[in-house]
Structure 1
């Protein structure tokens, strides 16, 4: 599966796009340290449901060029609108993972008229969430910059990432590495993590309740970064009408670890709600 390339706001943006342009669009947003390739095994399921799959490398990730300004949570939300407009997308089924969830759910609250349905996987907006150990390091000035030097080492990055993402391919591994390979590129991750703040989280945690579109919540049972209880919190506090599906013996990166299980649930969601 080859990426396409376009220019948005004078920056190169790479993305996956498969399916009939006239079919309902499924917009897939990845997290950290991912790229559009996290969705590569999921695209065929989307196509089998009669939909069109579109997954960008968010600016600074994969092959896409970073913003000239700080890569904040808010700035990535603006990019989603710019990307959607550039590709002439109307209403979309929104599928999000990890930081793509914080970016996408915030965007959905700001643009509810553009969302047909939502699939959330291993992501949350909750003021009760505690940053995992690595996130705490990245959020700390000085310490975060020093830690990034280790991630820039390909051997160490490759070894550690293979442990945390069972089943990752060499191609995807290299794509994920792009955001870490230089001091400038890694600043994208530091900016993003440091832009997360409790005030914004509380605001959008409350706003999620106003989204009345169909929602499916998919979760790896053994997620070490966003633990399973947050799946149920997301349902109980924000999406009481959502269907929660827990995938046994899977971790955080379910799209790569257990794509067949994710695909089955994705097809169920799209077959029920596609228009």
Structure 2
């Protein structure tokens, strides 16, 4: 197996992404190591907020939210998951597993932000982040979730997800920038589309992006079902502020917002919303509303002044 490192030339002149690079070496498993890239913006002693992206995006997705959150007083930490963004990319799809993704992100969190933190998560950022909340709820001051869920089998997947999973597995053309364009309600510029294509110079570099949809445990025999069921005990009992802000124009996960809010104790009585003119990648369509939701939940929790 080859570990593909990023080409800095492909990331030149990214629009609205002036952020410094930060790196952490991660034990990938089977004797392999890789570098995880992450953003670390704002004062180091400020309350941290973790910003977890999903499939097939990277920390570029948070470029509109980070300035708002830093201005409000946060330290923003946004990793690129292994296989995405500037982070290293194993070229073997079978090397990517749910348990490894959790472990890789947990290694990063323990090294970079061991203290309590707020969390914003979307898509696979929620399959990872909500799992972490369920397993270690005391490490999270508050949560804002968007277009995500913590699935536990049962075969209850939307038709939109089943179609997406098959497309990711079999389509000969897997153009990441075009995927982002189709899954938002606002038009992406050519430079923004190029920024989403930048991490993926060839088919081998897309191994993680193609693998991710196959790992979602929507059927009972999928790895991760038992672990997610166990994590739901802690997630359901999470009594700190838990807000859902979902894009209503998302055919894959848009309908999951009310269900998620109904199952978490800390979500009771909060101003959950289905955002209009908002697709799956809500950070592109409604960044101001999402950032404000994080700010309000952190203040409600007494985590942000």
Length-normalised TM-score, structure 1: 0.85
Residues 1:63 and 1:172: Cα distance change in structure 2 (over 3 Å): farther
Kept after mapping to 2: 8 A contact 1:118/1:214: yes
Does 1:46 find its partner at 2:69?
yes
Per residue, is there more helix in 1 or in 2? 1
Residues 1:145 and 1:251: Cα distance change in structure 2 (over 3 Å): closer
Does 1:72 find its partner at 2:97?
yes
* Structure 2 alignment gaps of length 5 or more: 1-17, 27-32
Q: How many residues align?
A: 266
**Secondary structure at 2:173 match in 1:** helix
Residues 1:32 and 1:132: Cα distance change in structure 2 (over 3 Å): farther
- Determine the structure 1 residue equivalent to 2:3: none
Residues 1:233 and 1:268: Cα distance change in structure 2 (over 3 Å): same
Does 1:29 find its partner at 2:55?
no
Deviation at 1:3, TM superposition (A): 3.9
Deviation at 1:170, TM superposition (A): 4.2
- Determine the structure 2 residue equivalent to 1:260: 288
Q: What is the aligned-residue RMSD (CA, Å)?
A: 2.6
Does 1:17 find its partner at 2:36?
no
CA distance in 1, matches of 2:179, 2:238: 38
1:69-148 alignment, distance < 5 Å: 70-127=95-152, 129-133=156-160, 135-136=161-162, 139=165, 144-147=168-171
Deviations 1:65-96 (A, max 9, x none): 02587222221211222112222431111110
Residues 1:51 and 1:14: Cα distance change in structure 2 (over 3 Å): same
Residues 1:89 and 1:173: Cα distance change in structure 2 (over 3 Å): farther
Deviation at 1:36, TM superposition (A): 0.6
Deviations 1:182-235 (A, max 9, x none): 33222213332222224344444444212222111111122222123x111111
1:215-254 alignment, distance < 5 Å: 215-228=242-255, 230-239=256-265, 240-241=267-268, 243=270, 244-254=272-282
CA distance in 1, matches of 2:201, 2:163: 18
- Determine the structure 2 residue equivalent to 1:7: 24
Deviation at 1:132, TM superposition (A): 4.4
Residues 1:60 and 1:193: Cα distance change in structure 2 (over 3 Å): same
Deviations 1:213-267 (A, max 9, x none): 2111111122222123x11111112344262122222222221112222233233
